[in-house]
Amino acid sequence: MIDNTENYLDDDALTSVSRFEEMIKAKTLYYFDVHEFESIIDHYIEKSNLPEAVKVSNIANRQHPGAISLQIKKAQILVDREQHLEALAILKSIQKIEATNKEILLLEGNIYNHLGKFDLAKEQFDEALQISFENREDLLFRIALAFEQLAQYDTAIEYLEEALEMDEEDSEVLFELGYCYERIGNDEQSIIAYEQFLELNPFSDNAWYNIGIVFNRLGNFTKAVEAYEYTLAVNDQHSKAYFNKANALANQGLFEDAVKCYTEYLEFDDNHASTYSYIGECFEKMGEHEQALINYETAIKADEDLADPWFGMGLVLLYQDKIDECLVYLEKAKKLDDTNSDYWFALGSAYARANSPQKAVQAFREAIDLDPFDTTYPITLAEYYHQNENEETAIDVLLESLSQTPNCPQLLSNLAAYYAITGDISASEHYIRKAIDIDSENINDIFIQFPELKENTHFTKLIQTNL
């Protein structure tokens, strides 16, 4: 932050500061009135020189022991030094004299906020509002920021909404509303507030960037890219906009454009490892495996402890059927992050192809345990048992998964298929009916996975009868 203290202190205030510093050097005592002491204290607070502010406050309170404003300044310094209980004691003492002093109530509210006593903070702030008849909108905004800074976004929104009722075109209020709604996940309201702000301030790169984040979270990647492009049009040095734009492009399957954007981001980013890993993933998705390997390897060289590029290398080598090599990279990725279900799943696939059934099953099981709601894992493990002519265990795997995701049509149709293969037509019909009730349009996709069932007249009749 640039120090602009001298820009807002008037000449009299600067003179007071100079006199005070002269007094300290001379080791003597000068007289200052209350207003002068307030200006000197403000000077040191703004310069983040709290020890000097304390020194001034102590001298000021000795010269003017009855000055309430100086007591408030002292409490403010204590708050800035996180000595909240000491500050609160001072405020409670002077509140007996000035019970309706707005600044005392606001400072007490801030202290209670920092102490995590948000209900008490709200009581103090609301009392301050009751006795304030001027600058109410500004006061509402200040209170909202106090709650926002401590992640009490719902409460902050209450005050911001009231402030907005007083002035529908207050851009500061609109921006903070957009941000608070974004933080609590109310994306629709966040977009409304940011759009209203941008109508007033179309050249705010931060607002365009923030609304891009919200659109991205909503899965509206086209709008997200557009917002990031506006961000960069206003400020071509907004580095994170390049990165987020690249992500949004990749999410749309526009991998070539995403690579270009990630490459631009490399000019700003110090963490090249992560960016090269994302570039590698884009090339992987485009089927350009050699370029993918080059970028994954570059990422690993930049940061050997980053798991993603090890995983990416392993996947590409798996695609290339280089199983022994792929296992080295996948094992390394798992070692760096053993809580990632995708890593375990890829390991299971690799061990299955390496003819290591025990390790394959263990890895698949780990993936399922880590993410029991991703039905790809149990369906694949069941298929692995099926390939090894163990349909009974395949059924057990899917039944176990069904307890977590009972309305998954893929699980239901796979169960129907395995029961048909084992000759249990009654059970097969039960699960076919349930699958069709949920998704009748895609039920015939089961024959893609189980082409042998096309010749099973019982099974085909079950589907035709229940459609």
Instruction: Please state, in angstroms and rounded to a whole number, the distance separating the CA atoms of residues 40 and 194.
Output: 39
Query: Which residues are CB-contacts of 305 (< 8 A; sequence separation ≥ 6)?
Result: 336
- Geometric angle at alpha carbon 107, from 104 and 43, rounded to 5°: 100
Task: Specify the DSSP element, H or E, that contains 181.
Answer: helix 171-183
Instruction: Say how many C-beta atoms besides its own lie within 10 A of residue 15's C-beta.
Output: 13
The pLDDT assigned to 10 comes to 62
Query: Which residues are CB-contacts of 294 (< 8 A; sequence separation ≥ 6)?
Result: 280
Instruction: Please state, in angstroms and rounded to a whole number, the distance separating the CA atoms of residues 421 and 238.
Output: 59
Instruction: Please state, in angstroms and rounded to a whole number, the distance separating the CA atoms of residues 154 and 184.
Output: 7
Own/partner contacts of 2-8, CB < 8 Å, gap of 24 or more, are 3/46, 3/47, 5/43, 5/46, 5/47
Closest CA to 243 of 289, 285, 218, 274: 274
Instruction: Please state, in angstroms and rounded to a whole number, the distance separating the CA atoms of residues 434 and 390.
Output: 24
Residue 278: phi and psi, rounded to 5, are: -65, -40
Instruction: Please state, in angstroms and rounded to a whole number, the distance separating the CA atoms of residues 282 and 285.
Output: 5
Kindly state the tokens that stand for 31. 């007289």
Instruction: Please state, in angstroms and rounded to a whole number, the distance separating the CA atoms of residues 196 and 175.
Output: 9
The helices-and-strands tally (H runs, E runs) of the chain is 28, 0
Kindly state the tokens that stand for 211. 């609304």
Instruction: Please state, in angstroms and rounded to a whole number, the distance separating the CA atoms of residues 67 and 41.
Output: 14
Q: pLDDT tens per residue, the chain (467 residues)?
A: 233 434 445 667 888 899 999 998 998 899 999 999 999 999 998 888 999 999 999 999 899 988 998 989 999 899 888 899 999 999 998 888 887 788 899 999 989 988 989 999 999 999 889 887 678 899 999 999 999 998 999 999 999 999 999 999 999 999 999 999 999 999 999 999 999 999 999 999 999 999 999 999 999 999 999 999 999 999 999 999 999 999 999 999 999 999 999 999 999 877 799 999 999 999 999 999 999 999 999 999 999 999 999 999 999 999 999 999 999 999 999 999 999 999 999 999 999 999 999 999 999 999 999 999 999 999 999 999 999 999 999 999 999 999 999 999 999 999 999 999 999 999 999 999 999 999 988 899 999 999 999 989 888 988 888 87
Closest CA to 248 of 215, 293, 271, 205: 215
330 to 109, 235, 345: CA distances (angstroms): 53, 40, 10
Closest CA to 415 of 436, 438, 398: 398
State the DSSP string of 246-271: HHHHHHTT-HHHHHHHHHHHTTT-S-
Closest CA to 163 of 184, 150, 148, 182: 148
Instruction: Please state, in angstroms and rounded to a whole number, the distance separating the CA atoms of residues 182 and 184.
Output: 6
Residues, the chain:
467
Instruction: Please state, in angstroms and rounded to a whole number, the distance separating the CA atoms of residues 107 and 80.
Output: 11
- 8 A C-beta contact, residue 75 and residue 91: yes
Kindly state the tokens that stand for 342. 């995708």
